[in-house]
Each structure stands twice: as C-alpha cells, then as structure tokens.
Amino acid sequence: MSVPTITMAPVITGDLKNKIDRVRDAFWSGDISNPLEVIEQIAYLLFSRRPDELQTRAEWKAHITGGALNCDIADICKIVPTDSKGETK
C-alpha cells in the first residue's frame, strides 16, 4: 500500500500578504471583524466605484471632444455636440 502524497497550497507571502493584512486591519479597526461582512463591504466598494469611473470617463470624453455631457435620470450620460459658444447643437 502506497502512502498518499500531500500537496500544500502556495502560501501568500511578502508584499501581497502585507497589503491583505493592512486591508484586514482597516476593517478590524472599523469594527468589522466577521470575514463575511468584510467580503460584503469589499464587494460593495468595488461595485459602487464602477458607476463613478464611468461618469468620470464620460466627463473626460466630453471635455476632450468639446461636447456637453447630458445625463438622464438613470445617470446614462451622452456627449452632446456643442457650437463655439458652448451651446448644444
């Protein structure tokens, strides 16, 4: 009978471990110690950041093209062409 070989998963070390520890410490100092709550908060931060990035990108494109940014109620932004006076065409 042969002895089964146990393969160890790679251990997180170095700079990545330090970054993870800083994030964990930040949540811990904010009184969030449950790992599921930490995951929930990180997911919330990631998904709430995306609309802001899209808005910033749309504003930059409007600035570069000289257009005006027109956003509707659902925050769907479109670049509207403007004339030399800055008025929409």
> pLDDT tens digits, residue range 29-48?
888 888 888 888 888 888 88
Q: Helical H runs in the chain? A: 14-29, 35-65
Mean pLDDT confidence for 2-8: 75
At 32, the amino acid letter reads I
The mean pLDDT value for 14-24 works out to 87
Q: Where do the structural domains in the chain lie, given as residue ranges? A: 14-80
Q: What is the pTM of this model?
A: 0.43
| Nearby residues of 51 by Cβ (< 8 Å), 6 or more positions away | 75
- Tens digit of each residue's pLDDT (9 = 90 or more) over 46-79: 888 887 887 788 788 877 877 777 766 555 666 6
User: Length of the chain in residues, anyone?
Assistant: 89
